[in-house]
Amino acid sequence: MVDSPTNSDSEDDFDSEKLQQIILDQESEIKEKQELIDKLIVDYRESVQKNVELIEEIKQKEIDIVKLQNSNQRQNFEKEEQSTVSAQVNQDLRLLRNENARLKKLVEDLKQKKDLDQGDDSKNHNDFQLEIQKLKKTIDDLNQEKKANQIAIRNLSEKLQKSSNSPQSPKTLAKNQTLDKFDIDSKLIEKMKNLEIFQEDFLDEKNFSPFLQNLIQKYEDLQNNSETHEEEMEKQKKSMIENKTQAELLQKINLEQGMKYTQELSQLRNEKNSLSIDLVKALDQVERLQNKIREAESTFLTFRTQELDKQNEQIMILKKNTNSLFQYNSNLEKENKKIHNEITNLIENEKISQEIKNKILRILHTEEQTNESIESIINLANFDYQKASNQQIIEENEMLKSHNSKLQERMDLISQHLDQLDGFQSENLILSQLKSQLELKNQENNQLVIHLSEFENKIDFLENEKDNLNQEIFKLKQQKQKQKQKQNEIEEENKKQKQNEEENKKQKQIEEENKKIEEENKKIEEEKQKQIEEEKQKQIEEEKQKQIEEENKKIEENKKIEEEKQKPINQDPDEDFKQQIMKDFEKSKKEKVYDFYIELLKNPKKKSRFSRKRKWEKKLLTILKPEVCNDRKFTFIISIPAGDFLFSALNDLEKKEINRLIKERKANKSKGLK
């Protein structure tokens, strides 16, 4: 009964520590997620501010575009003014045509009157001829003025066409038709001039002179009108030229501004696309975080519910244990009562024993003949009984104390568990508060999503407006492209002319360069010939030097031969062999040699051992002095380059023996032996 609750308490403490650690970890994760959400909200607000700034920029650019449209409207208004001026010119031309038609009618009337009045007198014939000459002069002047007006009108039309650089509008076609009609009228007037009816057949024109005077006045009026018309036309020309220059400047400015606005619009689109991508990424991150938070909440709730279930089970176990403890306490109380009763019985027995003692003493006092042995036995019995009863009482008291201490420990544990339960309730309250905060944040996120959708709708509206503006800009670009095509055609013609001129220049330059190249080639050939001659001379000199060197060598060899001949004959037959060894030694100074053979020569044991086997060693010992053999410089004897002479003088067996020694030496060196 006592051991089971202590083990359960240790397990409960371990589980509670685990729970606290898990709760702390989850709280830290929730804090990190909250910080991430706060960062995302800050980033989203910054992106919203950027989008607001972009919208303001777009609005400003829309205002600029409206200004551009107003400037385009002004240009259109100026063009309309130009068209009104051209319409006025056409009206003036129509008036001139009407006046020409009236003149034609007058001429026809004159013809008819001439046919009717052929039988009249010719008194005023000379005056009439003079008047006719005046009329002809006036007609000539009018024709010249008309031609000048036609030329001016054509120049104006050509300038208008160049300024517009667009296909002919119906207004320009009408102008060309009116000019063609003027040409026809001028031809008719020229035909009228060629008619000499006025000079041949008019004789008596008495009543016709005032009519002619009226005609002359009309011609003078027409002349005056034509002069005024010329002045007006010149003014219109000047105004048209000024308008044309202004229109060209405005077109250039508008095109430049249009290009700038297109670039800015493209930049804004790119920024908008990047912002939309960032917003999508931010929304994805928000959704991911929301999902993670939901998963964390669900896992935390499941884990928390499991923990609460475990705690409830533990509480039930504790309740059972407490009930068992209460029962155990009740049993202990019953046992304590029994022990108390026994103790009281013992005390009563002691009282009885004292009475018996008193009686016995009385008997002893009364009866002096009692035996001492009986008294000793009684005393021993009383002492043993008291000792045994006291030990039982002490042991039972100790047992009671231990039981009471264990009961108090269990009560303390129960109080601790109750405190933990209170802590869990407070944690549940905190978790509920966190849940409410998360719900509020989810609501804020939903509101942000709504704002995002509204912002995207605004952006779509602005995009539609941008598309409309782009369409207008595209139309302007098409017009500009048409103008460019015409300009390109003119430029191509100019380029062709320039190319032809450049080709002619290039041909001339090529001819000049060819002449220069020919001259340079001639110079190069001359220099080559000079170099060849110099090289030949050098070769001749080198050959001469070689011949001289060879001759010197021959002279030296002859000197050596003579010196050898002059030397006395050596008594030692191996002196030549010794000299050859010395020569080989000089050659081998710069080369690597094997130094083991000199050790063989230094070691007498090895010498005796090898001298038995080899005759060539004795030969070397007889040739070489011991001083020379002791010198380390003569280690070349067994070397491959310096010992070629010695090697050639040996037998095959001796050569094999030397090779064997060389291999052994190398093997010993590799093993670290000398």
Can you tell me the distance from the alpha carbon of 232 to that of 88, in angstroms, rounded to the nearest whole number? 10
Residue 632 lies in a domain: yes
Of 208, 209, 201, nearest to 118 by C-alpha is 201
Can you tell me the distance from the alpha carbon of 381 to that of 384, in angstroms, rounded to the nearest whole number? 5
Q: Which long-range contacts (CB under 8 A, 24 or more apart) does 658-663 make?
A: 661/596, 661/597, 662/594, 662/596, 662/638
pLDDT tens digits for range 133-148: 666 676 677 667 667 7
Can you tell me the distance from the alpha carbon of 546 to that of 550, in angstroms, rounded to the nearest whole number? 6
CA distances from 532 to 536, 539, 540, 541, 544 (A): 6, 11, 12, 14, 18
Can you tell me the distance from the alpha carbon of 102 to that of 221, in angstroms, rounded to the nearest whole number? 14
Residue 408, Cβ neighbours under 10 Å: how many? Answer: 10
| Out of 211-220, 451-460, 549-558, least confident range | 211-220
Mean pLDDT, rounded, for 213-241: 68
Can you tell me the distance from the alpha carbon of 326 to that of 324, in angstroms, rounded to the nearest whole number? 5
| Out of 86-100, 154-168, 339-353, 653-667, least confident range | 154-168
Overall pTM surpassing 0.75 (yes/no): no
**Per-residue confidence at 168, pLDDT binned at 50, 70, 90?**
very low
pLDDT tens digits for range 648-671: 545 566 667 667 766 776 777 676
Q: How many domains does the chain have?
A: 1
DSSP 8-state symbol, 441: H
In degrees, rounded to 5, the angle at the alpha carbon of residue 275 between the alpha carbons of residues 272 and 278 is 155
Residue 14 lies in a domain: no
**Whether pLDDT at 285 is above 80:** no
**Per-residue confidence at 205, pLDDT binned at 50, 70, 90?**
very low
Cα R_g (the chain), whole angstroms: 71
pLDDT tens digits for range 330-355: 776 777 677 667 666 666 665 555 65
**Whether pLDDT at 515 is above 80:** yes
Can you tell me the distance from the alpha carbon of 621 to that of 615, in angstroms, rounded to the nearest whole number? 10
Instruction: List alpha helices for 195-208, DSSP H.
Output: 197-201
Residue 610 lies in a domain: yes
Read off the tokens for 520.
């340079």
**Per-residue confidence at 415, pLDDT binned at 50, 70, 90?**
low
The boundaries of the domain holding residue 593 are: 575-671
Residue 55, Cβ neighbours under 10 Å: how many? Answer: 16
**Whether pLDDT at 483 is above 70:** yes
Contact indicator for 162, 244 with CB cutoff of 8 Å = no
**Per-residue confidence at 175, pLDDT binned at 50, 70, 90?**
very low
| Mean pLDDT across the chain | 65
Mean pLDDT, rounded, for 171-176: 45
Residue 124 lies in a domain: no
Phi, psi of 204 (to 5 degrees): -105, 105
Contact indicator for 58, 282 with CB cutoff of 8 Å = no
**Whether pLDDT at 531 is above 70:** yes
**Per-residue confidence at 490, pLDDT binned at 50, 70, 90?**
confident
H-helix or E-strand spanning residue 537: helix 372-566
Can you tell me the distance from the alpha carbon of 400 to that of 338, in angstroms, rounded to the nearest whole number? 13
Q: Which long-range contacts (CB under 8 A, 24 or more apart) does 30-33 make?
A: 30/293, 30/296, 30/434, 33/289, 33/292, 33/293, 33/296
**Per-residue confidence at 543, pLDDT binned at 50, 70, 90?**
confident
Contact indicator for 210, 127 with CB cutoff of 8 Å = no
Contact indicator for 114, 201 with CB cutoff of 8 Å = yes
Q: Which long-range contacts (CB under 8 A, 24 or more apart) does 168-177 make?
A: 171/83, 171/86, 171/87, 174/90, 175/86, 175/89, 175/90
Can you tell me the distance from the alpha carbon of 130 to that of 136, in angstroms, rounded to the nearest whole number? 10
Contact indicator for 370, 364 with CB cutoff of 8 Å = yes
Can you tell me the distance from the alpha carbon of 280 to that of 649, in angstroms, rounded to the nearest whole number? 99
Residue 462 lies in a domain: no
Q: In residues, how long is the chain?
A: 674
Residue 403 lies in a domain: no
Read off the tokens for 256.
């430049």
Residue 365 lies in a domain: no
Residue 652 lies in a domain: yes
Contact indicator for 40, 289 with CB cutoff of 8 Å = yes
pLDDT, residue 401, reads: 66
Higher-pLDDT residue of 436 and 568 is 436
Read off the tokens for 446.
């939903």
Phi, psi of 117 (to 5 degrees): -105, 30
289 contacts: CB under 8 Å, gap ≥ 6: 33, 36, 37, 40
pLDDT, residue 633, reads: 40
218 contacts: CB under 8 Å, gap ≥ 6: 102
Residue 334, Cβ neighbours under 10 Å: how many? Answer: 10
pLDDT, residue 625, reads: 43
Tell me which amino acid residue 539 is.
Q
DSSP 8-state symbol, 568: P
pLDDT tens digits for range 299-322: 767 776 777 777 777 777 766 766
Can you tell me the distance from the alpha carbon of 322 to that of 312, in angstroms, rounded to the nearest whole number? 15
Q: At what angle do helices 372-566 and 209-366 cross, to 10 degrees?
A: 130
Read off the tokens for 222.
């027409």
What is the biggest distance separating any 2 CA atoms in the chain, rounded to whole angstroms?
233
pLDDT tens digits for range 442-473: 676 667 667 666 766 766 777 777 677 777 77
